[in-house]
Structure 1
Amino acid sequence: MSRIKRVLVVLGSVVTVLALAVGGLFLWLWTGTDVSTVGKEPFENKLAIPPLAESRLDKDGTRVFDLRMQAGEKEFEDGRKTATWGFNGAYLGPTLRAERGEKVRVRIANGLDEASTVHWHGMHLPAKMDGGPHQMIAAGGSWSPHWTIDQPAATLWYHPHPHGATEKHVQRGLAGMFIVDDDARQPDLPNRYGVDDLPVIVQDVKFDGADFDHGKGFMQNAGFLGDRTMVNGTLSPYQEVADERVRLRLLNASTARTYSFGFSDDRAFAVVGTDGGLLERPARLDRIQLSPGERAEVVVRMRPGERTVLRSFPQDNYAGAWQQRFNGGDDAFDVLQLRAADRLRPSPEVPGELARLELPKESDAVRGRHFDLKRSGINGREMAMNRVDETVVRGTTETWTVRNANGMPHNFHVHDVQFRVLEVNGEVPPPELRGPKDTVFLPHGTTMKLALRFDGPADPDTPYMYHCHLLYHEDEGMMGQFVVVEKGGRAGDVAGGAEGSHTAHDH
């Protein structure tokens, strides 16, 4: 009996030590996982404003842009160069700008040593011009997509979309803004680019010597999460402003991180636009949550001589404490400091009426579809390049019900269309989701009902994508394909990979 007691005591001691060790390890991981740069940024670097891309008009009136994907290096911090990719430069790309009704052509050269694509995120355009994984541009190759701008004024963007490698290509710096103007329907808002109308491309980064660190931390199932943010490729940025009101075109260009934007003094701001254009009327908020790929246009009022910081605040709607802690919900960042001059030019009040929404209504829908979001695939299917998942009829409206019960954050992006959010968990959507949207955040336990109209050209052989825009999830297979057909039509033959896609010369 005494021997058994000794064995039990030893076993109990071992179990206790192991429990304490596991508990200590968990406590260390828990307390060391959240990130905060609040109060730590010196804001010593003037914000870089991406240049407006040069263009020319062809004889037929087409506006032509030139983009070149290239490798380079950049000193984000003095004395330390980092290997990068960019468009027409070392990092990020110029802002393309065109008017509604214009014909545009973008001549793209791939100067990288591997194939990539350029996707026009939020743009309404033919499937062959979309720049998804079926429009690969070979290393050393070129591609010249062309289309007519046929949508309201909006803040859109462009980025690579190679199947299985999108996260890596975007992280290295391939991204830029595309602004659509519509002078016929432009309300009186700040509109001088780089002066009182600022592009704010937000990314989170982590550095590892002369390269970006793209590693994923323990339990980070959302994807890569950096420990710092930068705006327009500028670390610790400040912007001097000389106007009473400033328009910020917020773009979450991170690959996995969701932000809750507000200001350090909790001042309210006017949300005037969402992904695909202006709201009907401004929404006055002090926080707006943007997941990867989402955009928002906000107008903030400044007072002479003051300073305020655009901040990302902790969020509590991920999926409980575990997901919130390990996937960025508890993190906080000081993103951009605004410095008002001692004397400011007067700015008009934000109009009470902004735009007439060009969005479908639920009553127009001819059918509904359901999409269940899981990391293993959408509706239980991992992405396959040669499989058409959904076939829609040109000119029709549908309702898509999207559900996330996967225990982790996801979001949902649909190519080509701007949709109306009809319901969030059976309720009327909040004001910031009542404008044109192409990407929505769905934390665990969320169901959204969307209305989408498919009025572009039919092409049964070339699909558009729908997918989670947490790019790690997209690369793993959280993506599906749909084609648009004429009434009575059927999906055609879809190429099964880069070998069958447009690799170089779509002129």
Structure 2
Amino acid sequence: MFMTRRSFLMGSLLSGGAVLAANATGRLYSLPQLNELYIPELIDARSRHQSIALEVQEGSRHFFPGRESITLGYNGSYLGPTLRVHQGDDSEVTITNTLGEDTTVHWHGLLVSGNLDGGPHQTIPAGATWRPVLPIRQRACTLWYHSHAHGRTARQVYAGLAGMLIVSDDHEKSLGLPSDYGVDDIPLILQDKQFEQGTLVLPQGMMTTMHGRRGDTLLVNGTVNPVAKVPPRLVRLRMVNGANARFFDLAFSDARIFHWIASEGGLLEKPVALRSLRLVPGERAEILVDFSNGRPATLTTGPDSSLSMMRMMTPMSGASETTVIEFIPQGTGSSSLQVPQRLHAPEPRIPSTALRRRRFELTMGMEMGMGMGNMRRDETRMSRASFGINDRAFSMDRVDERVNLGDSEIWEVTGTMMAHPFHVHGVHFQVISRNGSAPQTRDKGMKDTVLVREPVELLVHFNQPSQGAPFMYHCHILEHEDNGMMGQFTVT
């Protein structure tokens, strides 16, 4: 009997047996073991009377059959549930730390005061509980939460301490966007990990510190070689780059067009038709993909474009295209879901309202003395911090910048040696120029994380007070952050 690629893939997935297929010549070749995409549990704050409980715990996970890996997670062995909160609500989250070490939970992209932000100053000691009440006063968007423990962020996030956070509002609901969680509204946490004989390992060494932890295997929601069943209609994908350091250059293998509808700060003014999309660590994007033709579709990523030097040091750097996830349309479609023509009122961009300009350079002093080329020894540059911002490594006891509540400022940010994802806590900003020219397409919308190497100007709006705890700004390559490429500011 003739078997379509769709039925073959799903049959292989469900049987769990060896996967073989015939190519055009009739010869058999191997396909990687496919695994059904894991969809994290959805916890809606309203269904829990505005009280959510998270337990930070140790666990184990079989990423590959018969191979156990030691991991960390929230309410489970790896990653955490998807949390949904609603504009206008006050949601309490009770976080109990059952680890044998300190941790924190940072609400990445949530606009709350500094004492609720979950940065390094909101430490949850081993055995302790933190109960922040989060006022949700921003529009619908896709956020995430993760560990931000000082000096431990990279290791704890790599081991599994991350999850998705969704803010909903009435305006978004009125647009008729796909909203059936796990069916046509699908969370995708993208990561890469290193495995040895099927067991998760923690890369170490100088190159790991320089470039961040990178792996030889892609995971989506903790699933290796994932395949997702989707309805044959318009589907929303909520994507988080939850990797420690890897950049994802995403496209479909059949070059199909999709529509980008939301950046970190929420809905764009109108959909943007794209064939490819880059996500750097910490960034999120929502896209609409039309699966109504019923054909399987493969989301792929190109080689990691963040590696500007010694690209051979990462196991996946030579791959021209790598599969991220396979989508298999099944069931019946619906013509009622359409890509809206408009999504949100345009955001005002008025740089003249900025009251101050600040400049930040993400610096890597290790660039000297590494034995590469004939670089002249420069004693001034040799004295720089190995990782820092404006030549200063992070200090918990030093406030680097002081900002007035309600002000807007222009922050000019530049990266050195390589491109860096720059994240600012407690704010949303707009990109107003890149390298002296107009912003790029991917700079659209309200953001909290942006790629910098050439000078990038940001119009930053400070609407959240510190309330006794500073906010962070830092490189979101987590190993850079842990090693000093971070600063802090107060808003009063």
TM-score after normalising by structure 2? 0.85
Give the superposition deviation at 1:429. 1.5
**Cα distance, 1:81–1:130 mapped onto 2, change above 3 Å:** same
Give the superposition deviation at 1:344. 2.4
CA distance in 1, matches of 2:128, 2:222: 27
Residue of structure 2 aligned with 1:416, choices 426, 439, 443: 426
Q: Which deviations, in whole Å up to 9, do the C-alpha atoms of 1:244-281 show, x marking residues without a partner?
A: 11111010000010110111111111000111101101
What amino acid sits opposite 2:200 in the alignment? Answer: F
Which residue matches 1:432?
442
What amino acid sits opposite 1:76 in the alignment? Answer: F
Give the superposition deviation at 1:346. 2.5
2:148 partner SS: coil
Give the superposition deviation at 1:194. 0.5
Which residue matches 1:236?
225
Preserved contact between residue 366 and residue 398 of structure 1 (Cα < 8 Å): yes
Preserved contact between residue 95 and residue 176 of structure 1 (Cα < 8 Å): yes
Give the superposition deviation at 1:413. 0.2
Which residue matches 1:115?
102
Preserved contact between residue 43 and residue 238 of structure 1 (Cα < 8 Å): no
Residue of structure 1 aligned with 2:400, choices 386, 389, 397: 389
Give the superposition deviation at 1:75. 1.3
Residue of structure 2 aligned with 1:480, choices 458, 474, 487: 487
| Structure 2 residue 152 is matched with structure 1 residue 144 | no
| Structure 2 residue 77 is matched with structure 1 residue 90 | yes
Give the superposition deviation at 1:409. 2.5
Which residue matches 1:183?
170
Which residue matches 1:271?
260
**Cα distance, 1:80–1:191 mapped onto 2, change above 3 Å:** same
Which residue matches 1:50?
40
Gaps of 5+ in 1: 1-38, 486-507
Give the superposition deviation at 1:305. 3.2
Preserved contact between residue 97 and residue 178 of structure 1 (Cα < 8 Å): yes
CA distance in 2, matches of 1:309, 1:217: 34
Preserved contact between residue 243 and residue 347 of structure 1 (Cα < 8 Å): no
Residue of structure 2 aligned with 1:290, choices 265, 279, 295: 279
What amino acid sits opposite 2:406 in the alignment? Answer: G
CA distance in 2, matches of 1:403, 1:228: 31
1:53 partner SS: strand
CA distance in 2, matches of 1:273, 1:409: 23
CA distance in 2, matches of 1:315, 1:257: 6
Give the superposition deviation at 1:208. 3.2
Residue of structure 2 aligned with 1:401, choices 406, 412, 417: 412
CA distance in 2, matches of 1:467, 1:151: 23
What amino acid sits opposite 1:68 in the alignment? Answer: E
What amino acid sits opposite 1:448 in the alignment? Answer: V
Residue of structure 2 aligned with 1:370, choices 315, 336, 359: 359
2:481 partner SS: helix
Preserved contact between residue 126 and residue 147 of structure 1 (Cα < 8 Å): no
Preserved contact between residue 118 and residue 159 of structure 1 (Cα < 8 Å): yes
Listed as ranges, the matches of 1:211-226 within 5 Å are 211-216=199-204, 219=207, 221-226=210-215
Which residue matches 2:381?
none
CA distance in 1, matches of 2:33, 2:230: 15
| Structure 2 residue 150 is matched with structure 1 residue 163 | yes
2:439 partner SS: coil
Give the superposition deviation at 1:201. 0.4
Give the superposition deviation at 1:347. 4.5
Q: Which deviations, in whole Å up to 9, do the C-alpha atoms of 1:421-455 show, x marking residues without a partner?
A: 1111122212221111101112x4x1110011111
Listed as ranges, the matches of 1:420-499 within 5 Å are 420-442=430-452, 444=453, 446-459=454-467, 461-485=468-492
Greater C-alpha Rg: 1
Give the superposition deviation at 1:190. 1.1
CA distance in 2, matches of 1:81, 1:422: 48
What amino acid sits opposite 1:482 in the alignment? Answer: F
2:91 partner SS: strand
Structure with higher RCO (Cα < 8 A, 6+ apart): 1
CA distance in 1, matches of 2:440, 2:466: 34
Give the superposition deviation at 1:185. 4.2
Give the superposition deviation at 1:374. 1.1
Give the superposition deviation at 1:211. 4.7
Residue of structure 2 aligned with 1:247, choices 236, 239, 248: 236
Task: Indicate the RMSD between aligned Cα atoms, in angstroms.
Answer: 2.1
2:156 partner SS: helix
Q: Which deviations, in whole Å up to 9, do the C-alpha atoms of 1:384-436 show, x marking residues without a partner?
A: 000000000001100100011x2222110000111101111122212221111
Preserved contact between residue 245 and residue 302 of structure 1 (Cα < 8 Å): yes
CA distance in 2, matches of 1:147, 1:216: 36
**Cα distance, 1:347–1:238 mapped onto 2, change above 3 Å:** farther
CA distance in 1, matches of 2:268, 2:34: 35
CA distance in 1, matches of 2:276, 2:206: 29
Preserved contact between residue 423 and residue 448 of structure 1 (Cα < 8 Å): yes
Preserved contact between residue 143 and residue 264 of structure 2 (Cα < 8 Å): yes
Which residue matches 2:68?
81
Q: Which deviations, in whole Å up to 9, do the C-alpha atoms of 1:4-41 show, x marking residues without a partner?
A: xxxxxxxxxxxxxxxxxxxxxxxxxxxxxxxxxxx986
CA distance in 2, matches of 1:237, 1:57: 30
CA distance in 2, matches of 1:282, 1:157: 22
Q: Which deviations, in whole Å up to 9, do the C-alpha atoms of 1:303-342 show, x marking residues without a partner?
A: 34311111111365754xx355546665442010001126
**Cα distance, 1:63–1:40 mapped onto 2, change above 3 Å:** farther
CA distance in 2, matches of 1:235, 1:468: 27
What amino acid sits opposite 1:176 in the alignment? Answer: G
**Cα distance, 1:457–1:245 mapped onto 2, change above 3 Å:** same
Identity percentage over the alignment? Answer: 42
**Cα distance, 1:56–1:278 mapped onto 2, change above 3 Å:** closer
Give the superposition deviation at 1:232. 0.7
